[in-house]
Chain A
Amino acid sequence: MRKIRIAMLTMALVLVLSVLAACTDGNNGTDSNGNNTPPAGEGASDNGGNADADGEYADYSGGFPERVTLEIPVYERAFEGWNVTDNYYTRWMQQEFGDPNNIEVKFTPITRSSEVTDYEQLLASRRAPDIIFHYDMPQALAYYGEDVMQELDYGEIEHYAPTYWANMRATIEQYGSVNGERVFFFAARPAADNFTTLIRKDWVEQVGMKVEDLTSLETYNDMLAKWKEARLGVGGASLLQNNYTYSYPFREWPIDEQERALYSDLSVADLTWAASERYLRNLNTQYNNGWIDREFYLRNDDNKIKAEFVAGKTGTYGLYLTSNADVFAATLANNPDAEFAILPPRALIPEGYEPQGRAYWPFGLIMGINYESTPEERAAVWMYLEWMSQPDNLFFLQNGVEGQNYTLDADGIAVKEADYAGESKLSNNNNKDYWALVTEMAEYESAEVTRKAYLRNWAPPGYEGLAEVMLQYYDEVAEYRTPDALYSVVLETVGEYKADLNALFQELYVKLALAPEGEFDALYEDAKQTYLDAGYQEILDEKQQAIEAGQYS
C-alpha cells in the first residue's frame, strides 16, 4: 500500500510540475492584479528615459538608453525572389532609423491572403507585432473586440510623432474611437485607385465589336456569347471570398441610406438582398451558357486567376495595374498577338443601373497598438511613423536609389527603370507594404504632378494608354462610389457569425451559380432561409438596432 501511495505521489508531483511548466510564461496574460493592458499614456520609467518638461512623456530624441525591439508587420505577398523581412530596404531602415534611436527594427511577415489567420495565431502564441493592422474596419473592430489593442493617448502620438499627427489628426479624431475608447490610428488614403480589369482587345475585335461598345452587362454578355461561338475563350471569374463587394453594380440608384447600412458590408455577404439576387441570377446565366470560366470556384488566389488569363483561356483579368505588372509579358509569351484594353466600368452594369462601386473609407491601413507592447515599444512605433512621414524617407522607400531605380524628370517625378534588377530593387508593388503605414498612395506637392506620377507608376512600358484610360474611367464614375456604413459600436454578431457565414455563403452562391436555370428560384429561396437561420438574421437585427440608435455614419 505504501509503495502504491509513494508511486502515486510521485506521479502526481510530476504531473503538477509539468502542468505548471506548461502554463508558465506562454499562457497567462495577466499579472497578479489581473491587469494586462498598460494604461494609455504611461510614460517610460524603467528604461531610463528622461521625462520632458511637463514630465508626461519621456524624451527619446537621443535614442533609447536601452535597445528596444520594434516589431513591424509587413504583408507577405509571395513575390518571387523577394524577402520581406530582410532586404536592401529593411537594412536601410535599420541603419537610418533603428541604429540612431537604439531600436532593433524587426519585420513580422503577415500572409496577405490569410492575414487574419496569421494574426490570430501570432496573438495566441504571444508573438504578434507591436502594430495590429487591417485594411477593413469590420476586422479591425473584431480585433478590438478581442481586447488585443491598447487604448491610445493622442498626446503621446503628438509628442513622439508630430508630423504624422499633423497629417492624420483629423482622421484619427473622427474615426479612431470605438465605444468612446481611442484605439485606432490610420494611414492616409489619397483618392485614387489602380485596381482595374483588363480585357483581351484582340478577342473583342475578332468578334466584330469594339471595347467602347461594351456599355452594359447585356452587351458584355453578348460579347461573351460570341467569344464562345468563335471558340476564343471565356470571361474570367473567381471565387468570391474575404471582401464582398460583388453586388454594387446591381444596386438601386440613388441608394437608400438605411438599406445600405443594413446590407452593405465588406465582411459579410448580403445574400438575401435584392441586389445579390440580380447578381446571382446573372452569374447563373453566364455559367449555364458557358460564358465564364466553368471552374471559377477553384480560382481562389490571384496566381490561379492570372494563370488562366496568361494561358489564353480567359479574356478578362482584374489586377492592380502597376508599371512592373508581369501579366502582359507572360500573356504575350503564350499569345504573341494579344492586345489589351481596360474594361469600361459600365460593361458590368445591367441596363437601367448606374456604375456603382465601393468607395474606400478616407483612410488606408487601420492600426492599433498590441496590448502587450511596452510604453517604450509604443513610443518606438510613433517614432517610426514620424521618421517614415518625413518626405525624404518616404520618397526613398517609394522610389529607391536615384540613378539606379529611377531618374527624375522635368516635373520632379521619379521615372522608374523598369528593368533594374540590382541590389536596391524595389518589391513588385514598389515597397508599398512598408510605407503603407503612413499613406496608401505616393503623392507629390500638387494634384497635377501626383496624377502624372500615378500614370508613370501605373503604366506598364508599351501600355501607357491603359493607365490613362483607367484614371479616366475612375473619374467618370466617381459620383457612384459609396463607402460602407461605419458603425461606432462593435457589432457582436458580426464577429460571432462572420466565419460561419462566409463559408456558408461560398457554399450557397456556388450552388446557385451552378444550378440549372429552371431551379434557380426555388434554390435561392431555400438559400436565403438557410443563410438567415445560420446567423445573418441576428446580424441584421443588431444592425437595425444600431441604425435606429443612429450609431453609424
Chain B
Amino acid sequence: MQHAKNGSALEVAAAPPLMRKKKNGGMGFLRRDWQLYFLLTIPLAFVLLFKYGPMTGLVLAFKDYKIARGFWGSEWVGLEVFHEIFAKYDFIRAVRNTLLLNSLDLVFSFTMPIVLALLLSEIRSVRFKRINQTLLYLPHFLSWIIIGAIAYQLLSEGNGVVNNVIVMMGGERIPFLQQDTNWLFSYLAIGVWQSMGWGTIIYLASISSINPELYEAATVDGAGRWRKAWNVTLPSIRVTIVTLLILNLGKIMEGSFERVFALQNKATTEFTTTIPVLVYRWGIESGDFSRATALGLFQALIGLALVLAADRIAKRLGEDGLL
C-alpha cells in the first residue's frame, strides 16, 4: 500500500516538469534545476580529475617509459611490455595467488559481516550493541603496518605472546605465520578481524529499513528468531548483498598490497607473490613503470570483466544487478 501511494505521488510530481520541458526547449532542465546540476559538477569533476585523469598514464603500458623522456617522449613499443610480463617467472604465480587470496577473502571476509550484522541486529540492549559495534569498527582504523607488527608480536614462533602462553601450558610452538598453510589461515583470520566490523555498517543500515510489519507477521505465524532472520532479514537485504558481492568481485584481481606486505615473511612465500606485490616490486623498487602499468592494466581489465559477468549472472538469476 505504501509503495503504491509513493509511486502515485511521484508520478504527480513528475508530470508538470515534463510539460514545462517542452516549453523551455532543450536546455530547460538545466535552467530549472541548475542548483542541482551545479552540485553534481563537484563529484563529477572529482571523478574526472582523479579517476579518469590518471588513466592517461596507462599509455605507459605501451611505451618504453624513461623518466627523463616523459610520457610522450618515451618510445612506443606496442604490446611488447605485455609479452614481457606474461613471460615472467612470477606472473602466473602472482595471478594464481591473487585469485586464491581474494576468493578465500570473498568466502570469509565477505560473509562474516553479514553474519555479524544479523547477530548485532538481534541484540536488544542499545548500550551493549553500541559498545560492541564500536569495538568491532576499531580495527578498521588501524594501518596494516601496525596490524602486521602486532601480528608478529602475538603470533611469531620464537617470541610471540600466544606461543609463549602455549609453551607455558606445556604445548608445542605453532608457526602461525611461518609456515605456508598456517600463514594463509592467519592471513584470512586477521583480514576478517580487521574488516568485519566495518563491513556490517551497510548491512545494519539495510536491516534497519526492513518494515517491522514483516517481523510482526512472522511472529504471528509462529516464527522464532532463527526463522525470522532466515526468512525475513536475509531476503530483505538480498539486494544489498548482491550489489556488494558484484562490487567485491571486481576487486578479486586487486587485493590489498599493504596487507600482504605487512604480514609476509621470507619463510612463507608460497602465497605472498600477488599482483599488487609485483606492481610494487617492478614499479617502485625497480623503477620499471611501464611493466607495472601493464600489469595494473591487465588486472583492471580482468576486474572489469568479472564485474560485468557477475552483473549479467545476477540479472539472469532475477536480481537487479548493478548496471
- Which residues of A does B touch, CB under 8 Å? 2-3, 6, 14-15, 18-19, 21-23, 27-30, 34, 36-37, 116-117, 120-121, 123-124, 142, 146-148, 239, 294-295, 297-298, 371, 495-496, 498-500, 503-504, 506-507, 510-511, 514, 530, 533-535
A528 → B minimal CB distance (Å) = 14
Segment of B52-60, B198-206, B231-239, B254-262 engaged in the interface with chain A: B52-60
Give the complex CA separation of A340 and B157 in angstroms.
Answer: 29
Are the CB atoms of A27 and B71 closer together than 8 Å? yes
Are the CB atoms of A535 and B89 closer together than 8 Å? yes
Are the CB atoms of A36 and B71 closer together than 8 Å? no
Residues on B with beta carbons closer than 8 Å to the beta carbon of A123:
67, 287
- The 8 closest A-B CB pairs, nearest first, are A29-B70, A22-B53, A30-B73, A147-B68, A120-B287, A534-B89, A499-B286, A507-B269
- Which residues of B does A touch, CB under 8 Å? 26-27, 29, 44-45, 48-49, 52-54, 56-57, 66-73, 88-90, 152, 156-159, 178, 265-267, 269, 273, 281-282, 284-289
- In the complex with contacts A36-B68, A500-B90, A18-B281 CB distance below 8 A: no
Are the CB atoms of B89 and A124 closer together than 8 Å? no
CB < 8 Å: which of B56, B69, B89, B284 contacts A147?
Answer: B69
Give the complex CA separation of A239 and B67 in angstroms.
Answer: 32
- In the complex with contacts A14-B44, A124-B289, A295-B156, A29-B69 CB distance below 8 A: yes
Residues on B with beta carbons closer than 8 Å to the beta carbon of A533:
89
30 contacts between A and B (CB under 8 A): A2-B26, A3-B26, A6-B27, A18-B45, A22-B53, A22-B54, A29-B69, A29-B71, A30-B69, A36-B68, A36-B73, A117-B284, A123-B287, A124-B67, A142-B287, A146-B68, A147-B67, A147-B68, A148-B67, A298-B265, A495-B286, A499-B281, A499-B282, A499-B286, A500-B88, A503-B273, A504-B89, A510-B267, A530-B89, A533-B89
Q: With A30-B69, A147-B68, A510-B267 given, can you name 6 additional A-B contacts, CB distance below 8 Å?
A: A27-B71, A147-B67, A294-B158, A298-B265, A533-B89, A534-B89
B231 → A minimal CB distance (Å) = 45
Residues on A with beta carbons closer than 8 Å to the beta carbon of B288:
496
CB < 8 Å: which of B26, B70, B287 contacts A30?
Answer: B70
A116 → B minimal CB distance (Å) = 7
Give the complex CA separation of A71 and B54 in angstroms.
Answer: 28
Residues on B with beta carbons closer than 8 Å to the beta carbon of A506:
266, 269
Are the CB atoms of A23 and B56 closer together than 8 Å? yes
A459 → B minimal CB distance (Å) = 33
Whose C-beta in chain B lies nearest to the C-beta of A504? B89
Whose C-beta in chain B lies nearest to the C-beta of A124? B67
Are the CB atoms of B287 and A147 closer together than 8 Å? no
Whose C-beta in chain A lies nearest to the C-beta of B84? A496
- In the complex with contacts A27-B71, A239-B266, A19-B53 CB distance below 8 A: yes
Are the CB atoms of B158 and A148 closer together than 8 Å? no
Are the CB atoms of A27 and B158 closer together than 8 Å? no
Give the complex CA separation of A462 and B178 in angstroms.
Answer: 41
Give the complex CA separation of A406 and B47 in angstroms.
Answer: 60
